[in-house]
């Protein structure tokens, strides 16, 4: 087992000496976890096939699940993509750096393993000073999926990274907690109209304002399993974001019905002797009887809900909870990304409270 070096770094003024230590590891084919504004990424040289294979192995990531390539200069997109349509340029101008990934036709420069053998490539420019400094100093685009074991909740702190990957990677740059807490939105620009494959930190509503016409791929809003033969984006084909506990998502238009159904299920599981957790919101948390109750924040502040989601799921694991009953949130703004993650984390075990 290798020793994982952890170096603290300021998210506001990262010291260049620290960044250069990490950049040398990337240049030598090593694996470095680093903070972005969304979640922590596990970075490798995107143009080094051996390094990319090592990343897949460290994460236990299925080889048909392509990572996103991170750049620090918009000009790099023209190197990585065969062509860059006007829609891509509009989005890059409006949202980069930021939590938006664009899917384009790949150029011959990108190794097959980096794109899981696809004809497309997923690219984004992160909005985080540590991430941008690391990419610049590494002098190469960085392929970086989330820095966790495949299938687990994504890491929003360095501690989360170490829980999953300590001894499996070379370094963690600890820049404190991430700001957004869910991954970037992924939009496929190789189809017309453009399709959102994964909702995330840039909302559907904002994208529509820029492009006028944008579709949501069925998998982005699915409340049951959709068969996917190949995935152009992470977070589409395989089970993701899942805690060790069984997670049941309770959805409904009427909040009181959702609360009633969750309490009914909690009582049932506790009678069976199962340690039961409830993932609630500020408006409802005080009314539940369960072994562990956690709040994501107010339903009126979906930014906080998104930021706390993966943190709370990991805390339930620490509490050795066996069953988690989670409240659904509105499917608008960042709520769409939160519900996408909760539905996937539950393996689409969803109870509709309004259908009783």
3-state helix, strand, coil in the chain (%, to 5): 35, 20, 45
Closest by CA position to 75, among listed 89, 86, 61:
89
Closest by CA position to 32, among listed 138, 121, 127, 112:
138
Report d(CA 65, CA 104) in Å as an integer.
16
Going by pLDDT thresholds of 50, 70 and 90, the confidence category of residue 219 is: confident
Report d(CA 269, CA 322) in Å as an integer.
9
Q: At CB < 8 A and 24+ separation, what contacts does 299-303 make?
A: 299/255, 299/329, 299/330, 302/329, 302/330, 302/333, 302/334, 302/335, 302/338, 303/180, 303/334
Going by pLDDT thresholds of 50, 70 and 90, the confidence category of residue 221 is: confident
Backbone angle region of 273, left / alpha / beta, with phi > 0 → left and psi within -120 to 50 → alpha: left
Domains of the chain, earliest start first? 5-184 (3.90.870.10), 246-355 (3.40.50.11030)
Q: Provide the pLDDT for residue 235.
A: 52
User: Mean pLDDT, to the nearest integer, of 200-212?
Assistant: 97
In tens, the pLDDT along 103-113 reads: 999 999 999 99
In tens, the pLDDT along 54-86 reads: 999 999 998 888 999 999 999 999 999 999 999
Identify the DSSP state of 115. G
Report d(CA 206, CA 274) in Å as an integer.
42
Q: Is the pLDDT of residue 236 over 60?
A: no
């Amino acid at each position: 087992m290798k020793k994982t070096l952890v170096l603290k770094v300021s998210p506001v003024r990262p010291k260049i000496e620290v960044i250069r230590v990490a950049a040398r590891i990337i240049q030598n084919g090593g694996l470095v976890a680093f903070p972005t504004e969304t979640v922590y990424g596990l970075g490798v040289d995107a143009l080094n096939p051996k390094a990319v294979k090592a990343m897949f192995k460290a994460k236990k990531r299925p080889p048909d699940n392509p990572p996103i390539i991170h750049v620090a200069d918009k000009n790099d997109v023209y190197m990585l993509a065969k062509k860059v349509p006007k829609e891509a340029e509009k989005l890059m101008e409006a949202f980069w750096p930021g939590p938006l990934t664009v899917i384009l036709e790949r150029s011959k420069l990108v190794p097959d393993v980096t794109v899981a053998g696809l004809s497309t490539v997923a690219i984004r420019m992160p909005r985080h000073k540590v991430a941008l400094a690391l990419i610049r100093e590494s002098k190469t685009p960085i392929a970086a999926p989330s820095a966790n074991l495949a299938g687990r909740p994504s890491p929003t702190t360095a501690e989360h990274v170490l829980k999953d990957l300590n001894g499996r990677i070379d370094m963690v740059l600890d820049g404190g907690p991430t700001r957004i807490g869910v991954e970037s939105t992924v939009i496929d620009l190789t189809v017309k109209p453009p399709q959102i494959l994964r909702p995330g930190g840039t909302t559907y509503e904002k994208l529509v304002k820029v492009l006028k016409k944008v579709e949501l791929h069925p998998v982005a809003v699915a409340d049951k399993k959709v068969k996917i033969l190949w995935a152009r984006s992470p977070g589409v084909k395989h089970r993701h974001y899942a805690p060790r506990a069984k997670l049941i998502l309770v959805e409904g238009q009427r909040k009181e019905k959702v609360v009633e159904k969750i309490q009914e299920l909690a009582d049932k599981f506790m009678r069976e002797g199962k340690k039961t957790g409830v993932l609630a919101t500020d408006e409802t948390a005080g009314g539940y009887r369960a072994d562990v109750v956690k709040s994501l924040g107010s339903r009126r502040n979906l930014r906080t809900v998104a930021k706390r989601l993966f943190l709370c799921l990991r805390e339930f694991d620490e509490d050795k909870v066996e069953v988690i009953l989670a409240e659904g949130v509105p499917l608008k703004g960042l709520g769409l990304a939160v519900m996408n993650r909760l539905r996937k984390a539950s393996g689409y075990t969803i109870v509709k409270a309004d259908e009783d």
